[in-house]
Amino acid sequence: QSVLTQPPSTSGSPGQSVTMSCSGSSSNIEINYVYWYQQFTGTAPKLLIYRNDQRPSGVPDRFSGSKSGTSASLTIRGLRSEDEADYYCSAWDDNLGGQWLFGGGTKLTVL
């Protein structure tokens, strides 16, 4: 069971915006950076957002991240069919000597 909690699924129509959440705790999200990864079926994940709200080069500005307290969120504006994928949040957790945590992932369906 993932310590970072994500809704298992969400959906939206092309052109719309969707926001997916990631809930953690005082030992991870509240005090450390949050990262987001996008994964298409059968491929390795891709870094989408780092340090809460930073986009790597090449990631469209339709993707944005934010963090508040023990939760974080990923927003995708102007949904496109090619955005249909699994999205994972991740954060370092300071407990038990330190470990990277991943959320359970949110499956985005573009209707």
Partner 1 sequence: QLQLQESGPGLVKPSETLSLTCSVSGGSISSGSFYWGWIRQSPGQALEWIGHFSYNGNTYYSPSLRSRLTISVDRSMNQVSMSLTSVTAADTAVYYCVRGSGSGVAYWGQGTLVTVSS
Q: Which residues bind partner 1 (CB under 8 A)?
A: 2, 33, 35, 37, 39, 44-47, 49-51, 54, 56, 88, 90, 96-105
Q: Which is nearer to partner 1, 83 or 93 (CB)?
A: 93
Residue 58 burial (CB count, 10 A): 7
Q: Output the smallest distance, CB 50 to partner 1, in A.
A: 4
Q: Is 2 exposed, middle or buried (0-12, 13-18, 19+ CB in 10 A)?
A: middle
Q: Which is nearer to partner 1, 18 or 49 (CB)?
A: 49
Q: Output the smallest distance, CB 57 to partner 1, in A.
A: 10
Q: Output the smallest distance, CB 102 to partner 1, in A.
A: 4
Query: Per residue, what are the HEC states of 15-42?
Result: CCCEEEEEECCCCCCCCCCEEEEEECCC
